[in-house]
């Protein structure tokens, strides 16, 4: 299992928050890989690919707002189809995230 996400507002590190939550909910720390440099969904996918070089499948767990974007980018990064599982999100923010999906797919091929 990989948690990924670097520092955001006020030094809050997304991956660390996810790690803490998983441990507090019974997941053994030894089963979790932590990536704390990513600053975007593209970074999340690239850095995760490095950690999971020999993995045949990927399941992405994120908010509903990010599931399409994250699944597309992880499929591109990992070379196999990524499956997505999402939590409920605010529907008012869905359209901007759909646009970011296209931006990230184009970014992937340009870099």
Give 100's pLDDT tier (boundaries 50, 70, 90): low
The pLDDT tens digits for 12-43 are: 898 998 999 999 999 999 999 999 999 888 89
Would you place residue 9 in the very low, low, confident or very high pLDDT band (cuts 50, 70, 90)?
confident
pLDDT digits (tens, 9 = 90+) for 60-75: 888 887 888 888 888 8
CB atoms within 10 A of CB 78: 20
pTM passes above 0.85 = no
> Distance between CA 29 and CA 74 in Å, rounded?
23
Crossing angle for the helix pair 67-78 and 41-51, to the nearest 10 degrees: 40
């Amino acid at each position: 299992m990989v948690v990924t996400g670097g520092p955001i507002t006020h030094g809050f590190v997304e991956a660390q928050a996810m790690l803490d939550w998983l441990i507090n909910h019974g997941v053994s720390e030894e089963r979790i890989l932590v990536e704390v440099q990513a600053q975007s969904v593209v970074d999340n996918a690239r850095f995760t690919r490095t950690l999971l070089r020999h993995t045949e499948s990927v399941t992405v767990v994120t908010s509903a707002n990010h599931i399409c974007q994250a699944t597309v980018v992880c499929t591109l990064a990992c070379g196999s189809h990524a499956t997505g599982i999402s939590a409920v999100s605010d529907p008012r923010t869905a359209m901007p995230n759909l646009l970011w999906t296209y931006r990230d797919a184009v970014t992937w091929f340009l870099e």
